[in-house]
Amino acid sequence: MAEPTIHWLTWGEEAFALARTRDVPVLLSIGAVWCHWCHVMDQTTFANAEVTSLIGDLFVPVRVDNDQRPDINARYNMGGWPTVAFLTPEGEVLTGGTYMPASSFAAALRQVSDYYRDNKASVKSRSAQQRARRKMLLTPQVAAEELTSSLVDGVYTQVVAAFDSTHGGFGEAPKFPQVDALELALERYARRGDARALKVVSETLRKMAAGGMYDHEAGGFFRYSTTRDWSVPHFEKMLEDNARLLILYLHAYQVTGEEWFHRTVEGIVDYVNTTLLCPEKNCFSGSQDADEKYYALTRDQREGVKAPSVDSIAYTAWNAMIALAYLEAGAILERAGLTTVALQTLELLWQRGWVPGRGMCQHWHHGPKLPGWLPAQAWTALAILAAYEYTGRSQWLEHAQSILDWAVENLKTPEGSFQDIPASEGALGRLSEPEISLIENAVISEALIRLSHLTDQSRYLDLARAALTVLQADVTRYGIMAAGYARVVEHVLTEPVRVVIVGATCETRVENLKQAVWQRYLPNRAVVSIDAAKEPQRMEALGLQQKLSPCVYVCAGRTCLPPVQDTSELALVLARAAGPPEAPPI
């Protein structure tokens, strides 16, 4: 006789209506294809006959993939993956946790079912209290003070204080890369020549790449280290992590010129190209599964051994991140093929990911899914703006403006911040309540700032300033994880380095000048391309000469230095504009 199996339902009205009809709780399982302990729980706990029988009798089981439904994960994750949350038929949390072995899980199933059955009145009262408390927490605070550089200084001070001078990185185990904190420190060094900042970045990046976090056989980084010294990783590899680390190591290479960082960049690119890139689809897979035994093998030993599985779904935000990374890598490493891949990926994202009237979707596997998800809007807009800066093609600027205009119209709260999904009448459970993330608000604010500088439309800068201002109160709660927010506050408070490239985009000399611009680390920049012959009015509006072409103007605000035509001279001008690092590389 066949063992009973769990008949998982998808998140939706049908599952919750069934729970209301049966008057039983919902068992919500949140996992991910890359999650090792999710697989273990499936193979043990959820395969146990007693557990399976209890679930079928006492619960309505619902399964959610974290990457496909990050909106649900944001509201119901109980501290990691796998998450097991027990919900009322109205979507309120009764209790929950992470991985549970079969023996304790069977007891938990009985306890939750008995409690729900015997305490209906208190469950209802507690649910109402939970909703009221969340509503109170979402109520806007008293108007925040104006943004100041002291906020940035405060976060940077926390970053330096949290730095692990022995092993690099921040804090104890488990240890994550904390890319935003490292980018904040690198930018601090570039602007002010702070030697402490460069030490934080250089020592962390060296020790991460030398330790177990980095796959020394096939390249690429694992998600995090289980140990303080980076020696024992958690073995899944994520497109998101490798994209952001690729950008970070590229920036460190730009600033220091260290060959160590260059080799690491090449290793990340080789891994992503070999394993995650789907060249026939012009997109990238989301992740590769964890397999401790496989990754213990040498490159030669891996030959003939089945590699850990790859999640073939292309996620919009992560594809935008890697496209942004490849644009920078193509220019800095002078590998035109990477630039081509980046532009093809962004073209695909626009064609497949943009849903008119509903924004960018989270992914388009079997049709567009989760349109309007904030990170998809923010990262795609940021990457597409970079495509405009690199190519000078106006359609990229138009695409980015469409995305950000949609986000402002549909995701901006009355207070000025951005929620993660559009408001929806009748949304299930906590999906009816906005989630407002400091981290993702920083990303969309960065895109708005960049769009403002590229279009000379101050309203986008005002929108970014408003979002950042209203979220000041969250900085303390986030600690060093507010570093990305702090960087963007710095960008809204300071004039960008505006680089105006004058000349037809197809000219070889224009391309050489553009390459020289991208070689320089300019974290708060705006690169504008103008064809003087076709856009004389724009030249006149910016107060630029119309007879000299091709050339580059480097400007701070509206004040521009004399035009430059030679790439060597341009490199010197950009170095002066970038900042005053005086301390030697560490």
Give which of 222, 229, 369 is closest to 296, Cα–Cα: 222
Cα–Cα distances in angstroms (integers) from residue 20 to residues 91, 179, 557, in the given order: 11, 44, 60
Asked whether residue 239 is domain-assigned, the answer is: yes
Number of domains composing the chain: 3
User: How many other CB atoms are there within 10 angstroms of residue 476's CB atom?
Assistant: 11
Residue keyed to tokens 């549970």: 100
Within this chain, do residues 189 and 298 fall inside the same structural domain, yes or no? Answer: yes
Q: What are 470-515's pLDDT values in tens digits?
A: 999 999 999 999 999 999 999 999 999 999 999 887 778 888 899 8
Give which of 257, 254, 225 is closest to 241, Cα–Cα: 225
Asked whether residue 407 is domain-assigned, the answer is: no
Last residue of a domain, one of 312, 337, 371: 312
Task: Give the 3-state secondary structure of residue 306.
Answer: coil
Q: Which residues of 24-45 are buried (b: 16+ CB within 10 A; e: fewer)?
A: bbbbbbbbbbbbbebbebbeeb
Give which of 153, 152, 155, 185 is closest to 168, Cα–Cα: 185
425 secondary structure, DSSP code: T
Give the up-direction half-sphere exposure of residue 444: CA atoms within 13 A in the CB hemisphere. Answer: 32
Pair type for strands 83-87 and 93-97: antiparallel
Asked whether residue 569 is domain-assigned, the answer is: yes
Query: Binning pLDDT at 50, 70 and 90, where does residue 2 land?
Result: low
Measured CA to CA, the distance from residue 319 to residue 248 in angstroms comes to 17
Query: Binning pLDDT at 50, 70 and 90, where does residue 582 land?
Result: low
Q: Give residues with Cβ within 8 angstroms of 162, minimum separation 6.
A: 170, 171, 181, 479, 480
Last residue of a domain, one of 113, 138, 163: 138
Residue keyed to tokens 């109980």: 78
Q: What is the DSSP string of 431-478?
A: GGS----HHHHHHHHHHHHHHHHHHT-HHHHHHHHHHHHHTGGGHHHH
Give which of 537, 520, 532, 524 is closest to 563, Cα–Cα: 532
Task: Give the 3-state secondary structure of residue 584.
Answer: coil
Q: What is the pLDDT of residue 522?
A: 93
Query: Binning pLDDT at 50, 70 and 90, where does residue 141 land?
Result: low
Residue keyed to tokens 């002066």: 576
233: which 2 tokens? 């990783």
Within this chain, do residues 31 and 106 fall inside the same structural domain, yes or no? Answer: yes
Asked whether residue 532 is domain-assigned, the answer is: yes
Measured CA to CA, the distance from residue 96 to residue 87 in angstroms comes to 9
Measured CA to CA, the distance from residue 555 to residue 538 in angstroms comes to 16
- CA 273 vs. chain centroid, Å, equals 20
Residue keyed to tokens 């998800």: 373
Measured CA to CA, the distance from residue 173 to residue 515 in angstroms comes to 41
Question: Which range among 13-17, 86-90, 96-100, 426-430 shows the weakest confidence by mean pLDDT?
Answer: 426-430
Count of helices and strands (H, E) across the chain: 24, 17
Within this chain, do residues 109 and 39 fall inside the same structural domain, yes or no? Answer: yes
Q: What is the pLDDT of residue 27?
A: 98
Q: What is the pLDDT of residue 584?
A: 45
Q: Which residues of 141-178 are buried (b: 16+ CB within 10 A; e: fewer)?
A: eeeeeebeeebbeebbebbbeebbeebbbbeeeebbbb
96 and 34 Cβ atoms separated by less than 8 Å: no
Question: Which range among 64-73, 167-176, 424-433 shows the weakest confidence by mean pLDDT?
Answer: 424-433
Task: Give the 3-state secondary structure of residue 191.
Answer: helix
Residue keyed to tokens 């209290």: 129
Is pLDDT of 232 > 80? Answer: yes
Is pLDDT of 1 > 60? Answer: no
Q: What would the mean pLDDT of 289-316 be, rounded to a whole number? A: 94
Asked whether residue 52 is domain-assigned, the answer is: yes
In DSSP terms, which residues pair with 501 in a beta bridge? 529, 552
Within this chain, do residues 63 and 113 fall inside the same structural domain, yes or no? Answer: yes
Within this chain, do residues 177 and 303 fall inside the same structural domain, yes or no? Answer: yes
Q: What would the mean pLDDT of 550-556 be, rounded to a whole number? A: 91
Between helix 179-192 and helix 195-210 the angle, nearest 10°, is: 140
Query: Binning pLDDT at 50, 70 and 90, where does residue 583 land?
Result: very low
Q: What are 26-79's pLDDT values in tens digits?
A: 999 999 999 999 999 999 999 999 999 999 999 999 999 999 999 999 999 999
Within this chain, do residues 305 and 192 fall inside the same structural domain, yes or no? Answer: yes
Within this chain, do residues 133 and 192 fall inside the same structural domain, yes or no? Answer: no
CATH of the domain at 265: 1.50.10.10
Q: What are 445-464's pLDDT values in tens digits?
A: 999 999 999 999 999 999 99
Measured CA to CA, the distance from residue 515 to residue 510 in angstroms comes to 9
Q: What is the pLDDT of residue 139?
A: 66
Question: Which range among 105-114, 300-309, 508-517 shows the weakest confidence by mean pLDDT?
Answer: 508-517
Residue type, 49: A
Within this chain, do residues 134 and 177 fall inside the same structural domain, yes or no? Answer: no
Asked whether residue 20 is domain-assigned, the answer is: yes
Asked whether residue 524 is domain-assigned, the answer is: yes
The 3-class SS string of 195-252 reads HHHHHHHHHHHHHHHHCCCECCCCCCECCEECCCCCCCEECCEEHHHHHHHHHHHHHH
CATH of the domain at 543: 3.40.30
Q: What would the mean pLDDT of 217-235 be, rounded to a whole number? A: 97
Measured CA to CA, the distance from residue 291 to residue 306 in angstroms comes to 10
Asked whether residue 5 is domain-assigned, the answer is: no
pTM of this prediction? 0.96
Last residue of a domain, one of 285, 312, 339: 312
144 versus 29: which is more confidently predicted? Answer: 29
Q: Domain range holding 78?
A: 13-138
Longest dimension (CA), the chain: 86
Tally the residues of the chain: 586
Residue type, 567: T
Question: Which range among 36-40, 241-245, 307-311, 542-546 shows the weakest confidence by mean pLDDT?
Answer: 542-546
Within this chain, do residues 180 and 296 fall inside the same structural domain, yes or no? Answer: yes
Q: What is the DSSP string of 348-391?
A: HIIIIIEETTTEE-SB-TTS-BSTT-HHHHHHHHHHHHHHHHHH
Q: What are 55-64's pLDDT values in tens digits?
A: 999 999 999 9
CATH of the domain at 41: 3.40.30.10
Pair type for strands 497-502 and 525-530: parallel
Give the up-direction half-sphere exposure of residue 208: CA atoms within 13 A in the CB hemisphere. Answer: 32
96 versus 139: which is more confidently predicted? Answer: 96
Q: Is the dihedral of CA 488, 493, 497, 502 positive or negative?
A: positive
Measured CA to CA, the distance from residue 157 to residue 244 in angstroms comes to 23
For the chain, give the mean pLDDT: 93
Question: Which range among 63-67, 302-306, 319-323, 325-329 shows the weakest confidence by mean pLDDT?
Answer: 302-306
